[in-house]
């Protein structure tokens, strides 16, 4: 069996070294990293890991296995270490914590999770060949064990777990409510003061590091530029002691060099096509505990050639602005430069960004802990901090009012844009502005007085919208001719689309102008809502056919040159359908019919005895309520043709599509004469002549019992533009008319429906940019103050690009916040070009359009997961010392090559583009 132990190495001079590291001088910062120097920062970061490193200690010489694997009763067992699997965690309040173990294809039937008060153990098998290919002799029958010793206590009986196709979620219930700064802790074991050399192995090759030298190494040391200089340049000052960035005591371990699982505390991972030694451009970043968002940003900026070369060549020292109150006195810039030096030294497999994290936490409190954060938000703060630290403007001039152009002043756009930019650069002049910042034009139009206001503002990145997820809507279109069958259409629209978009789609399919279409929502025969073009489209239940979206063609005043009256009609039964069982004894009558309650018509009884016994309960709900039937419809008529006769005729024609009406007496009589029935209606209109329904004014409860009265008398008012009527079917026993709802009789193009249903909707970056530059109406919370109206207006706002940066950062707005309770992530694939992104169509500057700005992709930040938890990785390519480095995947401490064809994924979140030189 493998015994896992962890040892702490104490150096006699460690206290002195801690003090020395707080006042690192120029000579110390110019020390080169020798081949045999141990990277102490990689060990130090284990204290800050969200889940502690379960590292392999020295091997028990009595063990029969040297690989960390076990054979028990014929089964193959492998004990996993911290770095052997990908994981993350997030907290829900102060009571719960969820650990996500990212293992694909785990078998639910064999998954076991054991909970203890101070630990939990996961035992699983997986079908993922990529996973068990990392372990010798591993396969689908291999049992993997992953144990986490917790820093704080939990309630084992209230903990649980769940298996997913790509991960295992472990739900921990904390014993005491609190925020955990980390999940697990390593309890080091103190050994002799004289440490032995630590032996590391990578694929069977032993690498020896002199541990004794590590105590004298600073946590972040300055690595001089690789440029040829007769003497090394003077290093920048190190952050002052006020930041309390003392190096921690070093943790290391003594391992058997022949053990297959002998790895350093920060696991040595081969990089660059399986390299056995650290490779330039393949250095990862340690995850300090939910810091993947930070690591992905740093790696993308590290692969930004212009920014990296600026900081690594020491040019930034000339620009450090120590007295800028908005900066950190140069500390952020220095720490970032030190980090870049280590990342490109070729001396580390992975490196700890702890110092940069602590500095950011000091400046921005929200980044001080180990919670999950948004990568774009962190990048904005980091670039802003670097900008202020190297801002060449020492004394910023003050400008009282910002200028703008409107319909009153008419300042040319070129003059206005240049003036905006000139004033901005008088206060902001740094490498960040030089590389990343551009300028866009903002145009506001007042909806009342039509005043136009134009301003030009700088941008660090473009945050562009993504079309929302699509929903398939089923709608029924009713032609103006009520005798024609309605037609069913399937329409795919974005989830946040309004009714107007749906009407536009139906207008294209039918050729009917959009202003002639009216949409309503019906459910169980009731009119739920009369929808305007700005209304949201109701989401219909997939399993309930009683909800329908109905669109009616209607007349317009332009067509008939007179006023048009609209009647919204809802059908209902005068007498509800009778039940077939006694409401009291629940039995069906053997002889004769059940007798109804004459007040509500909803309860039926065998006799008066059952009725009397049920009265105590029935009286609570004994209320007459007509029963809806069929579906509602809309009738439009010219004012001159608004008569009750026309209304009844058209209502009868519309109703035939959704109800069956017949009279047993007429049926038996006419059947002898050979009259045919069509959908429950007789061709000779016998039922219509018999007065099978009446129209009722729903507001005044007035019934049109006779055709002799005028429609004005019926409505008791002048005919309004929209009037709501009831079509009441006379289905009482006296009239002997039976009315039943039926499935809406309609036409349906099956081939067209299948085409729409199977239609795939591809989103590309150009479409997102088009949405970014389209006009939008400001919300009431964003209302603009119109200087002409002297009021806040929900103005129309349009953005367009005026000045483009050398390096363009694009954020895809995947996260939607509709309310505090409703948030969603858009996980659609957005296809973006790797080469030749043309922004000409989104620019409003003639100079830019003529130049045809083309951009090429060089880095991507990816986000996996949902709104409340996930993981960040990065893709990047670059050139270093005249050598091109292709696309690589940066996943915290893991770095590996990746094919260009795998760069465009549905997880892309932030895109980094470089302006192509005009000579190309």
Catalytic residues: 292, 871
Q: Which of 258, 254, 283, 271 is nearest to 206 (CA)?
A: 258
Q: Which of 378, 253, 215, 389 is nearest to 863 (CA)?
A: 378
- Give the containing element (helix H, strand E) for 557: helix 557-560
Query: Both tokens of residue 660?
Result: 């069956």
CA 112 to chain CA centroid, nearest Å: 32
Rounded to whole angstroms, the Cα distance separating 198 from 193 reads 14
Residue 281 CA to residue 349 CA, distance in Å, equals 10
Backbone φ and ψ of 116, nearest 5°: -120, 175
Q: Is the dihedral of CA 366, 367, 372, 375 positive or negative?
A: positive
Which three-class secondary structure state does DSSP give residue 61?
coil
Specify whether the CB–CB gap between 813 and 465 falls below 8 A. Answer: yes
Q: Which of 803, 802, 812, 800 is nearest to 775 (CA)?
A: 800
Q: How far apart are CA 548 and CA 475, in angstroms?
A: 7
DSSP string, 318-348: GG--TT-TTS-TTHHHHHHHHHHHHHTSS--
Q: Tell how many helices (H) and how many strands (E) occur in the chain.
A: 21, 53
DSSP 646-669: HHHHHHHHHHTTTEEEE-HHHHHH
| Nearest residue to 871 via CA among 88, 52, 45, 84 | 88
Give kind and range of the element (H or E) at residue 40: helix 40-44
Which one, of 255, 246, 262, 244, lies nearest residue 211 by Cα? 255
Helix axes 331-343, 292-302, angle to 10 degrees: 80
| Of 383, 349, 343, 382, residue with least CA distance to 364 | 382
Distance, in Å, from the CA atom of 47 to the CA atom of 44, rounded to the nearest integer, reads: 6
Residue 604 has, within 13 A of its CA and on its CB side, a CA count of 16
Describe the crossing of helices 331-343 and 375-389 by its angle, rounded to 10 degrees. Answer: 110
Say how far apart CA 268 and CA 270 lie, in whole Å.
7
Query: Quick one: which of 290, 353, 300, 295 has its CA closest to 461?
Result: 300
Q: Residues 784, 795: contact at Cβ < 8 Å? A: yes
Tokens standing for 301?
């900026």
Strands 470-478 and 517-523 come out as unpaired
**Dihedral sign for Cα atoms in the order 702, 707, 708, 710:** positive
- The count of residues in the chain is 920
């Amino acid at each position: 069996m493998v015994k896992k132990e962890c040892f702490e190495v104490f150096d006699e001079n460690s206290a002195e070294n801690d003090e020395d590291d707080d006042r690192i001088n120029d000579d110390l910062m110019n020390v080169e990293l020798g081949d045999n120097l141990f990277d102490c920062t990689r060990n130090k970061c284990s204290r800050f890991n969200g889940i502690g490193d379960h590292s392999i200690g020295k091997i028990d010489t009595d063990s029969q296995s040297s690989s960390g694997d076990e054979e028990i009763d014929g089964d193959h067992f492998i004990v996993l270490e911290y770095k052997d699997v990908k994981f993350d965690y997030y907290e829900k309040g102060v009571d719960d914590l969820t650990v996500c173990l990212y293992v694909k294809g785990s078998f639910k039937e064999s998954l076991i999770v054991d909970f203890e008060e101070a630990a939990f153990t996961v035992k699983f098998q997986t079908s993922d060949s990529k996973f068990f290919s990392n372990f010798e002799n591993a396969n689908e029958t291999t049992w993997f064990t992953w144990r986490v010793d917790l820093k704080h206590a939990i309630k084992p009986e209230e903990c649980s777990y769940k298996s997913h196709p790509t991960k295992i979620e472990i739900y921990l219930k904390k014993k005491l409510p609190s925020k955990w700064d980390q999940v697990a802790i390593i309890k080091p074991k103190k050994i002799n003061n004289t440490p032995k050399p630590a032996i590391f192995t990578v694929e069977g090759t032993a690498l020896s590091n002199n541990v004794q030298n590590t105590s004298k190494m600073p946590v972040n040391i300055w690595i001089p530029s690789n440029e040829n200089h007769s003497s090394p340049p003077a290093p920048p000052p190190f952050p002052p002691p006020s930041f309390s960035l003392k190096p921690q005591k070093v943790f290391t371990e003594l391992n058997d060099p022949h053990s297959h699982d002998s790895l350093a505390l920060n696991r040595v991972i081969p990089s660059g096509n399986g390299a056995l030694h650290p490779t330039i451009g393949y250095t990862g970043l340690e995850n300090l505990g939910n810091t993947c968002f930070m690591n992905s940003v740093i790696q993308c900026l590290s692969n930004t050639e212009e920014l990296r070369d600026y900081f690594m060549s020491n040019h930034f020292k000339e620009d450090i602005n120590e007295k800028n109150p908005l900066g950190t006195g140069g500390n952020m810039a220095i720490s970032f430069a030190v980090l870049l030096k280590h990342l490109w030294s070729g001396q580390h497999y992975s490196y700890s960004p702890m110092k940069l994290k602590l500095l950011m936490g000091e400046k921005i409190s929200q980044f001080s802990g180990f919670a999950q954060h948004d990568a774009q938000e962190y990048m904005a703060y980091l670039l802003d901090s670097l900008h202020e630290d190297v801002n060449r403007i020492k004394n910023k001039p003050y400008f009282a009012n910002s200028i703008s152009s409107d319909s009153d002043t008419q300042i040319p756009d070129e003059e206005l844009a240049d003036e905006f930019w000139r004033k901005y650069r008088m206060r902001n002049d740094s490498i960040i502005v030089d590389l990343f910042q551009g300028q866009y034009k903002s145009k506001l139009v007042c909806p009342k007085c039509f005043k136009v206001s134009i301003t030009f503002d700088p941008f660090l990145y473009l945050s562009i919208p993504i079309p929302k997820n699509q929903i398939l809507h089923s709608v029924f279109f009713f032609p103006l001719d009520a005798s024609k069958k309605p037609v069913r259409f399937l329409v795919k629209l974005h989830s946040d689309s309004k009714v107007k978009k749906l009407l536009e789609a139906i207008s294209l399919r039918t050729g009917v102008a959009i202003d002639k279409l009216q949409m309503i929502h019906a459910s169980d025969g009731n009119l739920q809502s009369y929808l305007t073009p700005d209304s949201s489209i109701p989401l219909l239940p997939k399993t309930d056919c009683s909800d329908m979206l109905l669109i009616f063609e209607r007349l317009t005043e332009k067509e008939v040159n007179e006023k048009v009256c609209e009647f919204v009609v809802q059908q209902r039964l005068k007498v509800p359908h009778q039940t077939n069982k006694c409401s009291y004894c629940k039995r069906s009558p053997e002889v004769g019919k059940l007798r109804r309650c004459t007040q509500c018509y909803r309860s039926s009884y065998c006799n008066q005895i059952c009725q009397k016994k049920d009265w105590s309960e029935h009286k609570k709900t004994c209320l007459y309520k007509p029963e809806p039937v069929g579906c509602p419809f809309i009738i439009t008529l010219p004012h001159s043709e608004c008569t009750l006769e026309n209304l009844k005729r058209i209502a009868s024609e519309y109703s035939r599509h959704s109800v069956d009406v017949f009279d047993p007496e007429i049926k038996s009589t006419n059947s002898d004469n050979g009259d045919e029935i069509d959908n429950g209606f007789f061709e000779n209109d016998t039922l219509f002549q018999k007065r099978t329904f009446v129209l009722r004014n729903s507001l005044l409860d007035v019934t049109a019992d006779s055709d002799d009265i005028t429609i004005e008398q019926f409505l008791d008012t002048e005919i309004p533009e929209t009037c709501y009527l009831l079509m009441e079917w006379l289905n009482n026993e006296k009239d002997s008319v039976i009315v039943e709802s039926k499935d809406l009789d309609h036409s349906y193009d099956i081939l067209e429906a299948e085409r729409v249903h199977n239609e795939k909707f591809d989103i590309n970056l150009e479409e997102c940019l088009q949405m970014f530059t389209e006009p939008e109406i400001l919300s009431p919370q964003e209302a603009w103050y119109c200087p002409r109206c002297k009021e806040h207006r929900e103005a129309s706002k349009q953005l367009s690009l005026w000045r483009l940066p050398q390096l363009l950062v694009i954020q895809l707005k995947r996260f939607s916040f509709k309310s505090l309770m409703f948030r969603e992530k858009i996980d659609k694939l957005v296809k973006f070009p790797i080469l030749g992104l043309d922004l000409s169509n989104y620019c409003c500057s003639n100079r830019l359009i003529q130049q045809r700005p083309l951009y090429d992709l060089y880095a991507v930040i990816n986000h996996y997961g949902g709104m409340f938890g996930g993981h960040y990785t990065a893709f990047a390519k670059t050139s270093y010392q005249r050598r091109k480095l292709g696309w690589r995947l940066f996943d915290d401490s893991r770095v590996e090559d990746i094919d260009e064809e795998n760069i465009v994924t549905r997880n892309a979140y932030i895109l980094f583009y470089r302006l192509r030189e005009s000579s190309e």
